[in-house]
Amino acid sequence: MKNYLEMLIEGKSLQEQEMEEAVQGIFAQEVSDSEIASFLTGLKSKGETAEEVSGLVKAIRKHALNFPKRIPDVLDNCGTGGDGSKSFNISTTSAFVIAGAGITVAKHGNRSVSSKTGSADVLEELGISLDFSPEETEEVLEQNGIAFLYAPHVHPKLKQIMKVRRDLKIPTIFNLIGPLTNPVQLDYQLLGIYRRDMLDKFAQVLANLNRKRAIVVNGAGGMDEASLAGENEMVIVTEGEIKRIKLLPEEVNLPVYDNDSIRGGDARDNADILLHVLKGKKGAYRDTVLMNAGLGIYTAGKAESILQGVELAAESIDSGRALSKLENLISLSKQNKKAVG
């Protein structure tokens, strides 16, 4: 670690393999809290490269719970959080709509960090279990086409790093990489990020992680989701090829809404919003979900355009399939709790 810290102090970047080795040392508990803090602040001061982020992510995934089964064509649509928009749980609601369109979704997520309610908070409020084992999760994915992976449960060895992060009280690369560390083998990924300057870098990381197709999006107003408030910047990664585009609501036949119109509340409020959307209630919440679920459906290759993805998202809701995915997951969670009890 001493050599890597010296490199960072000198402004030198680590190769992907060097980054993996440094993080392996942290997991092996060969490194003190102060060294971890110096490492994270050194990376932040220098500016993390795509290779460094890729190495960090690969090391974290190696130490996550093992999900051995290779389920084909799985997508995650987890965002980084941290945009301060106080919006409802857009990606969580969208995940059920994407699953209702016939795409397998392994939704990675956590409790609230910057907003009132994280994905884990709202799902727990709805009665969904946060502690399925890897084998149970894989079974749920095959049975229901959607499962939730609670980050602290699937990454039990991150406790020392998380403690240092809390003590530092400044944003580090760990504020951004959560969606990249999903331990399920993903083919597709829709990743919302609150920092527009990191779009290209994260697109390169997703290319390094061999996604068949991925989209990194920064929404109007700096949201970590696609927004109906104006212009969305996104980068599409297809088999390693990277293309940057802009997307406006009118291009996919959706109205414009101010970001204030999609504010959420506590876990109960956001659970109600999620249920209302999946039950077909019209308005800003639904249209925002249509945009984001449409992007997910397009990412997974189920639609030939984002517009068609939005149309398929509306079908998923209006047919009741999206709500059915939620109800099935709640039912499977009850069975899991009975089995544990």
- Was 309 annotated as part of a binding site? no
Summarised one tens digit per residue, pLDDT across range 231-281 is 999 999 999 999 999 999 999 999 999 999 999 999 999 999 999 999 999
**pLDDT at 91 exceeding the cut of 70:** yes
Same domain, 98 and 8: no
- Was 108 annotated as part of a binding site? yes
Same domain, 163 and 282: yes
**pLDDT at 56 exceeding the cut of 80:** yes
- Was 211 annotated as part of a binding site? no
Mean pLDDT, rounded, of the chain:
95
- Was 83 annotated as part of a binding site? yes
Question: Which pLDDT score, from 0 to 100, does residue 10 have?
Answer: 96
CATH of the domain at 53: 1.20.970.10
Summarised one tens digit per residue, pLDDT across range 162-220 is 899 989 989 999 989 999 999 999 999 999 999 999 999 999 999 999 999 999 999 99
Q: Which of 190, 208, 171 is nearest to 58 (CA)?
A: 208
Same domain, 34 and 111: no
How many domains does the structure of the chain reveal? 2
Same domain, 78 and 43: no
State the DSSP H helix or E strand holding residue 323, giving kind and residue range, or none if neither: helix 321-340
Amino acid at 273: I
Instruction: Tell me if 341 is assigned to some domain.
Output: no
Could you give the CA distance from residue 218 to residue 271 in angstroms, rounded to a whole number?
Answer: 24
Please say whether the beta carbons of 153 and 130 come within 8 A: yes
Among residues 62, 87, 105, the one where a domain terminates is 62
Could you give the CA distance from residue 245 to residue 298 in angstroms, rounded to a whole number?
Answer: 14
Instruction: Tell me if 227 is assigned to some domain.
Output: yes
- Was 107 annotated as part of a binding site? yes
Kindly state the DSSP code that residue 178 receives in the 8-state scheme. G
Instruction: Tell me if 214 is assigned to some domain.
Output: yes
**pLDDT at 35 exceeding the cut of 90:** yes
**Domain housing 45:** 1-62
Instruction: Tell me if 140 is assigned to some domain.
Output: yes
- Was 87 annotated as part of a binding site? yes
Same domain, 32 and 147: no
Same domain, 250 and 146: yes
**Of the given ranges (115-129, 191-205, 307-321), which has the lowest mean pLDDT?**
115-129
Same domain, 57 and 90: no
Same domain, 192 and 229: yes
Residue 128: how many other CB atoms lie within 10 Å: 22
Instruction: Tell me if 295 is assigned to some domain.
Output: yes
**pLDDT at 338 exceeding the cut of 70:** no
Instruction: Tell me if 213 is assigned to some domain.
Output: yes
Instruction: Read off the pLDDT of each residue in 12-22 and give the average, rounded to a whole number.
Output: 96
CATH of the domain at 128: 3.40.1030.10
Among residues 41, 62, 83, the one where a domain terminates is 62
- Was 154 annotated as part of a binding site? no
Question: Which pLDDT score, from 0 to 100, does residue 250 have?
Answer: 98
Could you give the CA distance from residue 268 to residue 297 in angstroms, rounded to a whole number?
Answer: 28
- Was 112 annotated as part of a binding site? yes
Does pTM surpass 0.75? yes
Instruction: Tell me if 69 is assigned to some domain.
Output: no
Could you tell me the pLDDT band of residue 82, with boundaries at 50, 70 and 90? confident
Same domain, 27 and 176: no
Question: Which pLDDT score, from 0 to 100, does residue 258 have?
Answer: 96
Could you tell me the pLDDT band of residue 313, with boundaries at 50, 70 and 90? very high
Question: Which pLDDT score, from 0 to 100, does residue 117 have?
Answer: 81
**pLDDT at 114 exceeding the cut of 80:** no
**pLDDT at 113 exceeding the cut of 70:** no
Could you give the CA distance from residue 313 to residue 78 in angstroms, rounded to a whole number?
Answer: 17
Same domain, 277 and 196: yes
Could you give the CA distance from residue 226 to residue 229 in angstroms, rounded to a whole number?
Answer: 9
Same domain, 204 and 318: yes
- Was 167 annotated as part of a binding site? no
Question: Which pLDDT score, from 0 to 100, does residue 122 have?
Answer: 96
- Was 90 annotated as part of a binding site? yes
Same domain, 29 and 83: no
Could you tell me the pLDDT band of residue 145, with boundaries at 50, 70 and 90? very high
- Was 76 annotated as part of a binding site? no
**Of the given ranges (45-59, 116-130, 312-326), which has the lowest mean pLDDT?**
116-130
- Was 115 annotated as part of a binding site? yes
The string over 96-110, giving b where at least 16 C-beta atoms fall within 10 Å of a residue's C-beta and e elsewhere, is bbbbbbebbbbbbbb
Instruction: Tell me if 339 is assigned to some domain.
Output: no
